Structure 1
């Protein structure tokens, strides 16, 4: 984010908070200071993340600055159909619209949004959100927590759909969102280097036989996408990984749902894919544990659907939605190609080995799903 927008942000926050500002820095100042928070550079509408630190009173608040797709340097690389939506709608402010609406009546007990203190435009291309900096409990993601999260996601998906509660910019065409994610990102950016034989000459990949299996799976994804579009459709969170389902210290048996990714109608069970893959990608969840949790979350998610009157959706539909999400969104993105240029270390070798094992599992899941 450029310095001009940072200054506008500081001025706007000064007026909002009514306190003297210590500056956009990591140092202390009178009243409060704004600290930058690192984030993944592949988020096209995130222009900055910050934490407000106070010298007295509240401990902190969280600040997120969103920008239009027009400001993203790589917007020209988006697939034509998605680029038209991104540039022609308010999709860029999707998360802010979720927070402003509050999803009243659609959030089941045990799941809430962060408290919102401010959503304001900085200019025509930027807006700022000031929200609760959720204090999290040091709670483990054990079987019960995964199961509870899955059940709440089932109830959430059913309620969002019944109430048509997502922002106007949410996708409401069955199959379009998952297909766009695959064709607009995976096919254009991930598959070419992943399937390049030269990639697999790297010392950490040379002994793997995954390349051809990934190529075979990629050829079969269009049939998978067709099947997902025919399955029962529900509105989703979009990125319901454990990292975005915070466990609050004041309610450790519940969750605070953050980072609402531009979403809409997807096959029932889609949100479970990110619930499972999040800690697998971070190296905290092994493949054997992921495989065991898969059946658990399918059953608990289905129980959530039944609680909300959606017994018409069966467990086979949920399983197809979960597996389809993992295959289309993650099977081709789990080999850490961005890490391969780094110097060879034991840590890098262990991480690549873990990701290859994860990819092998996802490829096997894809083969089984497409054969069934």
Structure 2
């Protein structure tokens, strides 16, 4: 019996599924016959504008006369024009905006041989199929990654930063950094999200009168205003620094801890591309803090430890860049991509509960840390 209706348009034929199961079980497809299969939607609380859905596909296959269970993970990826959030983009700029997010990159990564060239200590899910749904979407079918709910202590951050440094500096990874074919650099982010969305909101007097911001951010407005006025210079300085490779969203949520070791499986490669040195340190440091999964009181300690480990990782791949230069690159990236947009815009219409006020205070800490690091390294 087969019931994969939950997949909708992301489903494939039984023949295609049998081929992927054969790959999963490392057996000839001629020896595999599907017995049953089901699809179940994966619950996921963190919104992603290019993700149309995530599912478990489970079932049983007859492999040379033996019934063998299998599980695959399926993710549907689409152009972000299909996201509900796209409705907030003014109609006159929607065609341009739709082209700014590299939704094809993840599929290109899983179609590539990047998996064979990752530094020791890093892995990625084994891909068994990338199936086009239509011109604006596709589905990736992946191995299930065994994970443990491990504590992200200082040593784990050091280990992750070291491996991200190796990832950035690896010649083999850098050779594949443009596999997505999406032309992007820091200036596109500045001209897009920052100048079109973030900076106009920062310049709104009405916004700064909101009680949530008066309480948490009032002392930061002059500093944020000065930083906003200098975004072109900040971006130019960042773009003049060495360009290596970057995951693009290397938060702990995308670095899965595997059982029995201190290695990581990287997921969500949508923003993988050539990026300025140190780029991945930003999300590693504040990714979980931004969404309330980690407190903000140890940013300085984790930041310093991660930076040193990242530079050591670069050196392990033969990339010799002074630690202070990487620290400056990290400061520039953190200010542009996190500090300026740290205000909790999405919470301004929410009831000001203690949780909401605590989140606003956390975001203010991130902004203050970003501004301080920028000033210290200038």
Return the TM-score normalized by structure 1: 0.83
Partner of 2:37: 31
Q: 1:104 to 1:14 in 2, by over 3 A?
A: closer
Aligned twin of 1:361 = 369
Which of 96, 105, 114 is 1:94 aligned to?
105
In the other structure, the counterpart of 1:258 is 267
CA-to-aligned-CA distance 1:326-363 (integer Å, 9 cap, x gap): 11100122221111211121211222122222222222
Q: Does 1:16 align with 2:16?
A: yes
2:129 alignment partner, one of 82, 100, 118: 118
Helix, strand or coil at the partner of 1:205: helix
Judging changes above 3 Å, is the alpha-carbon distance between structure 1 residues 18 and 83 closer, same or farther for their aligned structure 2 residues?
Answer: closer
Structure 1 residue 59: deviation in Å? 6.9
Counterpart position of 1:209: 219
Tell me whether 1:227 sits opposite 2:237 in the alignment.
yes
CA deviations 1:59-88 (Å, max 9, x no partner) are 7432111223565646767698876676xx
Larger displacement relative to structure 2 (119-128 or 150-159)? 119-128
Could you say if the C-alpha distance between residues 51 and 13 of structure 1 is closer, same or farther in structure 2, counting changes exceeding 3 Å?
Answer: farther
Shift of 1:8: 3.0
Query: How far, CA to CA, are the matches of 1:70 and 1:198 in structure 2?
Result: 30
Match of 1:169 among 180, 185, 189: 180
**1:97/1:167 contact within 8 Å kept:** no
Residues in 2 aligned to 1:237 and 1:269: alpha-carbon distance in whole angstroms: 11
Partner residue, 2:165: 154
Aligned to 1:7: 8
CA deviations 1:194-234 (Å, max 9, x no partner) are 33121122222223222222111111222111111221111
Residues in 2 aligned to 1:201 and 1:154: alpha-carbon distance in whole angstroms: 42
Deviates more, 1:290-299 or 1:358-367: 358-367
Is it true that 1:241 corresponds to 2:242 in the alignment? Answer: no
Of 318, 331, 338 in structure 2, the residue corresponding to residue 323 of structure 1 is 331
Q: Distance in 1 between the 2:43 and 2:151 partners?
A: 24
Equivalents in 1 of 2:93, 2:270: separation in Å? 17
Shift of residue 157, structure 1, vs aligned partner: 0.9
1:48 aligns with 2:53: yes
1:287 aligned partner: 296
Structure 1 gaps of 5+ residues are 20-29
CA RMSD of aligned residues (A): 2.9
Single out whichever of 59-68 and 336-345 deviates more from structure 2.
59-68
Question: How far apart, in 2, do the equivalents of 1:32 and 1:105 lie?
Answer: 31
Query: CA separation of 1:356/1:68 partners in 2, compared to 1, >3 Å: closer, same or farther?
Result: closer
Residue deviations 1:306-341 (CA, integer Å, cap 9, x gap): 111112x11122112211111110012222111121
Distance in 2 between residues matched to 1:42 and 1:191, nearest whole Å:
22
CA offsets 1:257-294 (integer angstroms, 9 cap, x no match): 11113342222111111110112213343333111111
Give the 3-state SS of the residue equivalent to 2:230 in structure 1. Answer: helix
Asked if the contact 2:115/2:124 (under 8 Å) is kept, the reply is: no
Deviates more, 1:161-170 or 1:206-215: 161-170
Distance 1:150 1:171 in 2: 26
Deviation at 1:41, TM superposition (A): 4.7
How far 1:5 moved relative to its partner? 10
Distance in 1 (CA, whole Å) between partners of 2:156 and 2:95 is: 40
Shift of 1:58: 4.7
Whether contact under 8 Å (1:107, 1:156) holds in the other structure is yes
Select 2:316's aligned residue among 307, 317, 332.
307
CA contact (8 A) 1:99 1:113 kept: no
Counterpart residue number, 1:26: none
Is residue 2:360 matched to residue 1:352? yes
CA distance in structure 2 between the partners assigned to 1:93 and 1:66 by the alignment: 8
Distance 1:83 1:121, change over 3 A: closer
Q: Distance in 2 between matches of 1:163 and 1:363?
A: 30
